[in-house]
Structure 1
């Protein structure tokens, strides 16, 4: 006979176990969110259909597969030809409703280009270069242009550049003033395609913008163009456009008083040999110290005597006056300064072998007291070192000593050891450092061969981050030595120096002048420790930009 009590508790145990099992399963399968959506919205239906002929509708409805948003409607969306009254665009649920406000021309192909306006709501994936095309007649324009866009400086293909097409009649009226009606955005490989074009004469440009208005209106934007007029009668491909930053034709300067009292001048273009002169107050030019950046596009002006309420500073290039800047300040205006130092050592305190120690003041140095500066070699204080002001930079002190590898050094600047031009004195600053190992550095020799030794070139050495390390004008096949370079990867860039001035020259869109061409060797040069390496560099023949 069955034991009912045992049966009841056995059933209860089974039920309880099932509940625990389910709870356990649930705890192991909490929602994880799923993979990220990388797909932009997809068009499901267009009413009237895309590529409709004999179009006579007043509204257009575009249905997509997900919720989306329209960004920068007036700068991203265009219609070509452009009607007098622009269409109205409204988002309703997963659809765009376009209301045409103007009478359409007869027997004309219209293209509505959404640029980068359409993006999904959650991940902002952009539906690039989506177009809706229709014709009020029997024929739909079907010609196309395609090609690629390259960055002149890096020689890499440029993604997200705007390629713009203007008819010859529009070019002088619209370029640089209004956005184009025909344009496309380059893909990740720098490629572009312009479709549904009407037979006509065109000019083509590419623009890498700093602000998304599709108008070349900023000195910092990159521009590309073709000098040739495109006589479009059939499909055309392999159009090459090279982006460059145009050197501004008009010099401009931005300046300000910083919180510490110096004046900062930012030039809108690099100068050849910039200099500054204080022309008011009278006789104040003798109080100035000027620090010009290596790129020659920035100048810092330090003024020992700050007892003035207005100042005029003249800027020169090769002794030619460029601009005069006037500024006002309170005569007794207070400034906050901290007089500190940096050094030419690495972040972990290593000084390059065979070099002097550079003590870099925050401000120009007026004087220093050698007796208040001590140097310890390991634990022993030494006296056979020299220290002096750098004749080339008023903010630098140069300390010379016979450094030894494996030794630990401590430099101490006691309180008041150094005084800047404002009378500020330093606080006690100890600096510990060692001498880097010589085997961490190498000798690189480039054996450079040019395709035409009758022309001029500039050979540039870049680090792995593509920062410029060295630049040398060259006119013949030669070997270039680079001593004491750290182990790592380096690249070679060559400028085809057409005008023989030893530097790269920008182009000019208005004058239809292309920039000087550049070749970048995309094969890295890997320097090993304590190594002497000879690397052949065979410069290819210049590819002339049309």
Structure 2
């Protein structure tokens, strides 16, 4: 018995030890640090005057690290060479060999280079300023930067100032001075020397302070502006890139498509080889015109070859076509099935004042109206006219005196339509309901202050960003937009300077500003069976 006591004691001590370990709670690290480093002291002090040294010593409240300092650090006015930069714990040291200009304010813009060591929190747009003279330059330029098309503020964009006036400035040289836009799009470039400056706005996606991609947003004014200027309005746009062929593919025998980087309605194509054997039928453009679909009749063809004169390269492009002779015949046959669907709102509703549109998969060669059967609430219904919509003829417009609120059943019997390949449809059936006139609202817009002789487009834009109504005016006028579905609409006016029927972006090298767009100051609410009257005076904005 006595021999067991030591063993029991050891076991008891072991369990107490385990229990003691189990209930210990390590100290919590607390919330994640989200604060960037703070400058606590410096030699010289920030905003110092009569500075004669060639080095800076900056001390922060925590350990720091640098990120892309060679591209982020912008010194204005520039030094001859890039300074030597060293970091040791909380200390940032900079030195340079160049002699500083006398009576000059220098700004060291660190961009987003400084961040804390542990969490990487960025000390954004940190600036250190000193003067070699007896005072700090206090001139400034301020204003607002907005998106050229949507009119919304652009946050976080660079606003860059240059003394020179060369066209290549934003591409090849970093700015002499710069600032950054706030959330509301406003900006203020501070501590600049008195004088006139070339100004640019830049959405600098790669943080190099240079405009080197058409995808980066750009804004500019054609002339220099003096220091002290306020209420400068910059409109940012994305330049239209060089049009390129992005993709060429065959959908099924009888059709292939060419996809371009933007609108291709003016693209010319040089067909090569035996392309005449394709027996071209028609060319179809996508809604935004960036895709060309070529319909051809010889479904045995297996290749199309062409060049595009607008491209710098004259290489021949080949498109491998689905054909009846290829190993992909089975897929091709499925794709060649000839079918159609009605173009209805929410899959069921048809406007009482418009023809019924039926979209076919292939261009239609001929229709046989006697094989179209429509019933209105179980009673036979006679249509007024059936039209194939030019030029592709893949859309059929069925005109009829639709009864508001009535239900219709539509049946297209086999052989109602024959496509350009000789295929005929199987039975296609659907139902639809005609909207009532009281389901819609209307809006009249009394436009005034327009410049006579110019062309303007007024657009009603729904909550999905779709233009549901577009009207064109050339002078003051009351416009009536009828049969609008109940919704909240944005109303905008586009200045069509080149009268091509659409909004055009800007071009820096051609010196073209984006076409102006003005938005009605309030959201327009359209209610069913209700008319709304709007007055829009554009006297101060239409010049």
TM range, normalised to the smaller chain? 0.7 to 0.9
CA displacement at 1:537 relative to structure 2 = 2.5
CA displacement at 1:166 relative to structure 2 = 1.2
Q: What pairs up with 1:461-472 in 2 under 5 angstroms?
A: 461-465=459-463, 467-472=466-471
Structure 2: 5+ residue stretches without partners: 1-27
Residue 280 (structure 2) aligned to one of 272, 283, 287: 287
CA displacement at 1:539 relative to structure 2 = 2.1
8 Å CA contact 2:202–2:217 kept in 1: the answer is yes
Secondary structure, aligned partner of 2:171: coil
TM (norm. structure 1) is 0.74
Report the Cα distance in structure 2 between the residues aligned to 1:122 and 1:210, rounded to whole angstroms.
25
Secondary structure, aligned partner of 1:283: helix
CA displacement at 1:458 relative to structure 2 = 0.6
Residue 147 (structure 2) aligned to one of 130, 144, 151: 151
8 Å CA contact 1:50–1:133 kept in 2: the answer is yes
**Greater CA drift, 219-228 or 95-104:** 95-104
Q: Which residue of 2 aligns with 1:327?
A: 317
8 Å CA contact 2:112–2:124 kept in 1: the answer is yes
Q: Which residue of 2 aligns with 1:256?
A: 247
CA displacement at 1:194 relative to structure 2 = 1.3
8 Å CA contact 1:457–1:494 kept in 2: the answer is no
8 Å CA contact 2:247–2:260 kept in 1: the answer is no
Q: Which residue of 1 aligns with 2:6?
A: none
Q: What pairs up with 1:146-185 in 2 under 5 angstroms?
A: 146-168=142-164, 171-185=166-180
CA displacement at 1:187 relative to structure 2 = 0.5
Please tell me the root mean square deviation across aligned C-alpha atoms, in Å.
4.4
- Larger strand percent: 1
Structure 1: 5+ residue stretches without partners: 1-30
Secondary structure, aligned partner of 1:312: strand
Secondary structure, aligned partner of 1:175: helix
Deviation per CA, 1:53-80, whole angstroms, max 9, x where unpaired?
A: 4253546445256x88766555443223
8 Å CA contact 2:258–2:293 kept in 1: the answer is yes
Report the Cα distance in structure 2 between the residues aligned to 1:372 and 1:323, rounded to whole angstroms.
52
Q: Which residue of 1 aligns with 2:7?
A: none
Aligned: 1:97 with 2:96: no
Q: What pairs up with 1:71-470 in 2 under 5 angstroms?
A: 73-87=69-83, 95=90, 97-100=92-95, 102-107=97-102, 108-117=104-113, 127-135=123-131, 139-168=135-164, 171-209=166-204, 212-232=207-227, 235-246=228-239, 252-258=243-249, 260=251, 262-266=256-260, 268=262, 278=271, 280-284=273-277, 286-305=279-298, 307-312=301-306, 326-330=316-320, 332=326, 334=328, 338=335, 341-347=340-346, 349-365=348-364, 375=374, 377=376, 380=378, 382=380, 384-385=382-383, 389-411=388-410, 430-450=429-449, 452=451, 454-465=452-463, 467-470=466-469
Secondary structure, aligned partner of 1:434: strand
Q: Say if 1:381 and 1:91 are closer, same or farther in 2 by CA, change over 3 A.
A: farther
Residue 45 (structure 2) aligned to one of 42, 49, 65: 49
Report the Cα distance in structure 2 between the residues aligned to 1:116 and 1:70, rounded to whole angstroms.
9
Q: Say if 1:514 and 1:132 are closer, same or farther in 2 by CA, change over 3 A.
A: same
CA displacement at 1:204 relative to structure 2 = 0.7
Q: Which residue of 2 aligns with 1:12?
A: none
CA displacement at 1:167 relative to structure 2 = 1.5
Report the Cα distance in structure 1 between the residues aligned to 2:112 and 2:421, rounded to whole angstroms.
54
Secondary structure, aligned partner of 2:156: coil
Report the Cα distance in structure 2 between the residues aligned to 1:90 and 1:520, rounded to whole angstroms.
51
